[in-house]
């Protein structure tokens, strides 16, 4: 069944939600999106894997990118979608098929936008970074993502969330010496020594830096702990895996240096890292978006693909109708009035006057 991009945006959201698209199985939804977009003569459309890119080419002074991922986390008894009052329930309603529906509605109805628009619908955002469709497009076809400013339609509760935090995982290792547990004094218990790592974490006070006018809230937490050899052996190693969420005033190198300093005396191995992104709200297109939308602005407390746009030199924000605290939950839902509100605000911005001199 095809998608009717001219239907009410809430109905379109429900239709998209009801096409199952767990990460790695986005094919049917990508097919439906591609078919619907290819029927629009004002767009040029390309398909790469399960990534669909559609573009206007009107020679406007600015080009903006609207991006949204097609995949969801695994189902949890939450399909098909259902409506209760002003809420649409179902897997992906908030993260982020309601945002995808807004972008598809704009793609179908904005035939003469005042800014050229690139619409990017991509796969595998919810799983390992190596499979992320936006990442692959940035590596293989960066020209398709070129623009002056980008909006990632992630769930933000219809607020504009600037930039994003970086994330880093590290294994902090306490060392000991093995011995028979009946003669424990002949060894050194690494699990006991790891208590000092936990003391550092308990004493941690989150930094709350202000970056480009937005306040971020950092976090440092243990997420895994492993140690032990056997029930009668004093362990010689205990590893605490920590996750550091850092503000965009730090680079990954800064974040690593900070972790090595606070865990001085322990072996620290960085196992995963992703850069933060500054808000980028000083760019003229971003300022115009904030002004035209009338939406509130806050910092993004988490990592999103805006960081990928930042790496391409494109300022980006997060903006979508979904409620971020409901993402990945069984009872995930989106407030139907917010879907229409996001569409209206985006339409005001993309269909309003452009101050080229700015």
Q: Are residues 119 and 267 in the same domain?
A: no
Among the listed residues 62, 116, 123, 125, the single catalytic one is 125
Indicate whether 13 belongs to any domain.
Answer: yes
What is the arithmetic mean of pLDDT over 165-187? 96
20 is catalytic: no
pLDDT at 352: 58
Q: Which domain holds residue 177?
A: 166-274
Q: How many CA atoms lie within 13 A of 33 on its CB side?
A: 37
Confidence band, pLDDT 50/70/90 cuts, at residue 129: confident
Q: Are residues 220 and 323 in the same domain?
A: no
Q: DSSP assignment, residue 93? A: I
Q: Are residues 170 and 210 in the same domain?
A: yes
Q: Indicate if the pLDDT at residue 355 is higher than 80.
A: no
3-state SS, residue 349: helix
First to last CA, the chain: 45
Confidence band, pLDDT 50/70/90 cuts, at residue 268: very high
Q: Indicate if the pLDDT at residue 1 is higher than 70.
A: no
What is the arithmetic mean of pLDDT over 94-106? 97
What is the arithmetic mean of pLDDT over 131-145? 95
Among the listed residues 34, 71, 95, 148, the single catalytic one is 71
Q: Which of 240, 274, 308 is the last residue of a domain?
A: 274
Q: Are residues 307 and 258 in the same domain?
A: no
Domain count, the chain: 2
Indicate whether 230 belongs to any domain.
Answer: yes
The CATH code of the domain that includes 292 is 3.40.630.10
- Using a pLDDT cut of 70, give the percent of the chain over it: 98
Q: Which of 274, 299, 317 is the last residue of a domain?
A: 274
Indicate whether 2 belongs to any domain.
Answer: no
Q: Which of 251, 274, 297 is the last residue of a domain?
A: 274
Q: Are residues 264 and 126 in the same domain?
A: no
The CATH code of the domain that includes 245 is 3.30.70.360
Q: Is the pTM of this model over 0.95?
A: no
86 is catalytic: no
Q: Are residues 68 and 43 in the same domain?
A: yes
Q: Indicate if the pLDDT at residue 15 is higher than 60.
A: yes
Q: Indicate if the pLDDT at residue 354 is higher than 60.
A: no
User: How many Å apart are CA 167 and CA 268, to the nearest integer?
Assistant: 16
Structure token digits, residue 20: 């199952």
């Amino acid at each position: 069944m095809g998608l009717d991009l001219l239907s009410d945006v809430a109905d379109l959201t429900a239709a998209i939600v009801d096409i199952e698209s767990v990460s790695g199985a986005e094919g049917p939804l990508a097919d439906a999106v591609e078919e619907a977009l290819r029927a629009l003569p004002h767009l040029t459309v390309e398909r790469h894997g399960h990534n669909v890119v559609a573009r206007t080419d009107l020679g406007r002074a600015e080009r903006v990118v609207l991006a949204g991922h097609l995949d969801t986390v695994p189902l949890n008894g939450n399909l098909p979608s259902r409506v209760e009052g002003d809420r649409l329930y179902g897997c992906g309603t908030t993260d982020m098929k309601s945002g995808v529906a807004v972008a598809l509605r704009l793609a179908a109805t904005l035939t003469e936008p005042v800014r050229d628009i690139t619409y990017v619908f991509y796969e595998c955002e919810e799983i390992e970074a190596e499979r992320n469709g936006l990442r692959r497009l940035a590596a293989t076809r960066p020209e398709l993502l070129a623009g002056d400013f980008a909006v990632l339609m992630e769930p933000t509760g219809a607020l504009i969330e600037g930039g994003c935090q970086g994330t880093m995982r590290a294994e902090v290792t306490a060392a000991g010496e093995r011995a028979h547990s009946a003669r424990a004094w002949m060894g050194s218990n690494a699990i006991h020594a790891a208590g000092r790592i936990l003391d550092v974490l308990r004493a941690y006070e989150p930094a709350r830096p202000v970056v480009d006018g937005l306040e971020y809230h950092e976090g440092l937490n243990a997420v895994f702990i492993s140690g032990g050899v056997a029930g009668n052996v004093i362990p010689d190693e205990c590893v605490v895996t920590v996750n550091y969420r850092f503000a965009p005033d730090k680079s990954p190198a800064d974040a690593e240096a900070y972790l090595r300093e606070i865990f001085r005396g322990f072996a620290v191995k960085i196992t995963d890292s992703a850069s933060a992104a500054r808000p980028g709200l000083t760019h003229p297109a971003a300022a115009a978006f904030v002004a035209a939308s009338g939406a509130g602005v806050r910092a993004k407390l988490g990592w999103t693909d805006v960081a990928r746009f930042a790496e391409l030199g494109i300022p980006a924000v997060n903006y979508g109708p979904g409620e971020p605290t409901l993402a990945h939950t069984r009872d995930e839902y989106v407030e139907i009035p917010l879907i229409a509100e996001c569409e209206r605000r985006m339409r005001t911005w993309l269909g309003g006057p452009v101050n080229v001199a700015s």
